[in-house]
Amino acid sequence: MKIIKTAIKDCLVLEPTVFEDERGYFFESFNQEKFERESGLKPYFVQDNQSLSIKGVLRGLHFQKGEHAQAKLVRAVAGEVLDVAVDIRKDSETFGKVVTTVLSSENKKQMFVPRGCAHGFVTLSDEAIFFYKCDNFYNKAYEGGVLFNDPEFDIDWILDESELIISEKDRALPNFNRLILT
């Protein structure tokens, strides 16, 4: 496994070593010991989530607040997504930074999103199965989010905004400047 640092502190892209032959392929999707050694981080995953989304579905930008904050290890099991992390940790040297990467069943990359980052993705393929490993349990009372098209971040979601399928809940999320004032 190759671990690549990003513009956000502790936000990492993981590239697995894939063994392919005439039968197909094999790769180790996560190894706690290797991850700790290479990253210096020690997440303990307690919850796995999976979603299916059709092309254009944008989920995010979400996070859990306070003691319910979650680090996530995410990947596209099938299809292709643009994955996005935004550092919303006020005391972070990378506060306000954005990282985007394409995750797909073809490239088998994963992104580790640390606690204190908002996270989202948009489905680029006809459909995608997206898998999350979380290091804390979801708690509805502590959920938060930032508006996907906040001009502060200028995120290129690759698809035209007219192609995006976004829940009413996600369309009603606050802008970043409103979030940091509360």
For residue 4, the surrounding DSSP H or E stretch is strand 2-5
Distance set, CA 49 to CA 29, 90, 129, 149, 152 (Å): 15, 27, 10, 25, 29
Q: Do 146 and 169 contact (CB within 8 A), yes or no?
A: no
The token duo for 27 is: 């790769």
Amino acid at 121: F
Active-site annotation holder among 62, 68, 119, 142: 62
Which residue, among 77, 108, 90, 83, has the nearest Cα to 6 in the 3D structure?
83
Residue among 25, 132, 138, 142 flagged as catalytic: 132
CB atoms within 10 A of CB 60: 23
119 in catalytic set: no
Q: Are 73 and 45 in contact (CB under 8 A)?
A: yes
To the query of whether residue 142 is one of the catalytic residues in this protein, the response is no
Cα 134 to Cα 31, 86, 127, 160, 161: the distances in Å are 15, 17, 23, 30, 29
Instruction: Supply the residues annotated as catalytic.
Output: 62, 132
